[in-house]
Amino acid sequence: MAWLLAPLYDRIVAPAEEACFQGWRHELLAGLTGDVLEIGAGTGANVAHYPAAVRRVVFTEPDPGMRRQLEERLAAARGGGTFAPGAAEVRTDRAAALSVPSGSLDAVVGTLVLCTVPDPAAALAEVRRVLKPGGTFTFLEHVAADDRPDRLRWQRRLDPVWRRVAGGCRLTRRTAEAIEAAGLEPVDLTRESARKAIALIRPTIRGHAMAPITALDRPSS
Ligand SMILES: C[S@@+](CC[C@H](N)C(=O)[O-])C[C@H]1O[C@@H](n2cnc3c(N)ncnc32)[C@H](O)[C@@H]1O
């Protein structure tokens, strides 16, 4: 189904993008600086929200249909002056195998992607590997409806079908817990229902987590 999803994706999510996701993306990315990598960048919904303080962004996206739209959006952003020449690059990396050195990035961004990667723990271990100590992981994800037993039951029931039609997306992931389990330290976390989204993906989390700073990372006095 993936070949069918890519051309329809932006149209399917448009109501929720307009109602809340775009505003959330803007707030989440506003404080980023330095060298950044985005995992599963899709059609490039975050492209317009990177602030000028970001020096360079590596956008990664393994799906060719999604990647084509990402490159188009990026070309338009470059034309509009959002990214200077050389400040943005597209790669095909999967989240569990990123082609960047350990401890090299100020921030990693992942939005609506940990629902889809086959092994979120492996992806998050990789996020932690590539971040500098004190670097941030910025996230927005839909999650299991733990506060709504009725909705959680429907998520569990429909998960096998949803997974097939939505490119591998899972409805019942507990991503806040997975981020902490990966050793990324919570900085801020907001739980909010996504307006105008399909009911099954309304429960969301968003925020930032930090790669730990160990005693070895601190300059000795
Ligand atoms: C629901 S879309 C979200 C796209 C985008 N991040 C956004 O916020 O609109 C999920 C994306 O994850 C990508 N994806 C799937 N498996 C992946 C993997 N193993 N590693 C990285 N990205 C993956 C898909 O190709 C798709 O573009």
Please work out whether the CB of residue 62 comes within 6 Å of at least one atom of ligand 1. Answer: yes
pLDDT, tens digit, 9 for 90 and up, residues 94-129: 999 999 999 999 999 999 999 999 999 999 999 999
**How confident is the model at residue 102, as a pLDDT?**
98
CA of 78 to the centre of ligand 1 (A): 22
Average pLDDT, the chain: 95
pTM of the model: 0.96
pLDDT, tens digit, 9 for 90 and up, residues 152-173: 999 999 999 999 999 999 999 9
Alpha carbon distance 71, 220 (integer Å): 44
Per-residue HEC secondary structure of 36-50 comes to: EEEECCCCCCCHHHC
Sort 85 into a burial class: Cβ within 10 Å, 0-12 / 13-18 / 19+: exposed
CA of 52 to the centre of ligand 1 (A): 24
Domains located in the chain, CATH noted: 2-210 (3.40.50.150)
**How confident is the model at residue 3, as a pLDDT?**
63
